[in-house]
Amino acid sequence: MSNTAMSIPEHAYPGTKKRGILGAFFFELIKNKFLYLLALPGMIWFFIFAYLPMGGIVIAFQDFKAMKGIARSEFVGLKNFQFFFRSNDWIQIVTNTVFLNVLFIAFNTLAAVAIAVMVTELGGKWFKKITQSVMIFPHFLSWTVVAMFVMAFVSTDGGFINQILSVFGIPPVQFLSSPGYWPVILVLLKVWHGAGFGSIVYMATISGINPDIYESASIDGASRFQKIRYITLPLLKPTVILLLILAVGGIFNGDFGMIYAIIGRNPPLYPTTDVIDTYLFRAMMDLGDMSMSAAIGFMQSLVGFVLVLTVNYAAKKVAPESAIF
């Protein structure tokens, strides 16, 4: 049932108590049938591609053989989960995954909010549109293409950065064998690639703020910086918290497309860049065991679900209007 229906008093729905929950649901469905009809294609898409595949979770508890199928594969319980935790590197891999995702979420959020505020403060309609387009463009570049540009910058022989260093007589930096540089490089790439696109939500929120509030602040003598600090940012807080809650759900999922395209199979960089997803991919390619990969994927989803519930509960205590439920 929609939030609108939940917020309307009972007397607005005559006989709701008599009909019960099911009756109220059908009443709401008939009342807003055209809105639900518009949402139907999206609901069907989610059902087919997000909910039906959940039946495959059973593979995580089987010794799955493609020739036997799910129905005839042997059930092995939690055995598949042991493979990951028996690895000598699992603590480092989990740490890398969480650490990199925390950096991605924090810096992407800060950059997206900053871009949204700056763009909305710009004067000139055409200049603002051009600026938005330029900032959003990197989001549509494939990580494979981005990886080619990165190699052109950081390669030891002929890389742009090392060429600049050689002009000043500085010896070349071995980026491709020095893991310490890569958390910073990956964060910069993530912000460059996604912050512009992520700022769209914040710009939409800012555009929805009542302009009378800003006019009143101007009459009271508030500067532009003061209006940003005391009006724009506080009113952006619910949106920021909501998006943070959603982002936390994927904190145990490494950005495989990004990291594998840029790092690939480069063992010297694994101490700071190897995440759960890249480790599982290599294990899948080397061992060919779908059950082990499914087990760790299930664990990632379960941890993400628990984290969303936890962060949502904390958000409800701090800012109730920002909680998802």
C-alpha–C-alpha distance, residues 34 and 21, integer Å: 21
> What's the token pair of residue 62?
């089987």
Q: Which residues contact 195 (CB under 8 A, 6 or more apart)?
A: 107, 108, 111, 112, 115, 135
What is the CATH number assigned to the segment(s) 78-322?
1.10.3720.10
The domain spans of the chain are 78-322
Burial class (CB in 10 A: 0-12, 13-18, 19+), 210: exposed
C-alpha–C-alpha distance, residues 108 and 193, integer Å: 9
C-alpha–C-alpha distance, residues 225 and 210, integer Å: 18
C-alpha–C-alpha distance, residues 186 and 193, integer Å: 10
- Identify whether the C-beta of residue 238 lies closer than 8 Å to the C-beta of residue 208: no
Q: Can you give the pLDDT at residue 22? A: 78
State the pTM of this model.
0.81
Total Cβ atoms within 10 A of residue 322: 18
pLDDT in tens, the chain (325 residues): 444 444 444 444 444 444 577 778 788 888 888 988 999 999 999 999 888 888 888 988 988 887 888 888 888 888 888 878 887 888 999 999 999 999 999 999 999 999 999 988 887 778 888 888 889 999 999 999 999 999 999 988 888 999 999 888 888 899 999 999 999 999 999 999 999 999 999 999 998 999 899 999 999 899 889 999 999 999 999 899 889 988 988 888 888 999 999 998 899 999 999 999 898 888 778 777 788 888 888 888 888 888 888 888 888 887 777 777 7
List, in sequence order, the alpha helices (H) in 155-181: 160-167
What is the number of alpha carbons within 13 Å of residue 5 lying toward its C-beta? Answer: 16
**For the CA atoms of the chain, what is the radius of gyration?**
25
Task: State the Cα torsion 140-145-149-154 to the nearest 10°.
Answer: 120
95, 100, 103, 194, 316 from 188: Cα distances, Å: 19, 12, 10, 10, 32
Q: Can you give the pLDDT at residue 19? A: 55
> What's the token pair of residue 135?
């900032």
> What's the token pair of residue 237?
């807080």
Q: Can you give the pLDDT at residue 151? A: 92
- Identify whether the C-beta of residue 223 lies closer than 8 Å to the C-beta of residue 143: no
Q: Can you give the pLDDT at residue 15? A: 47
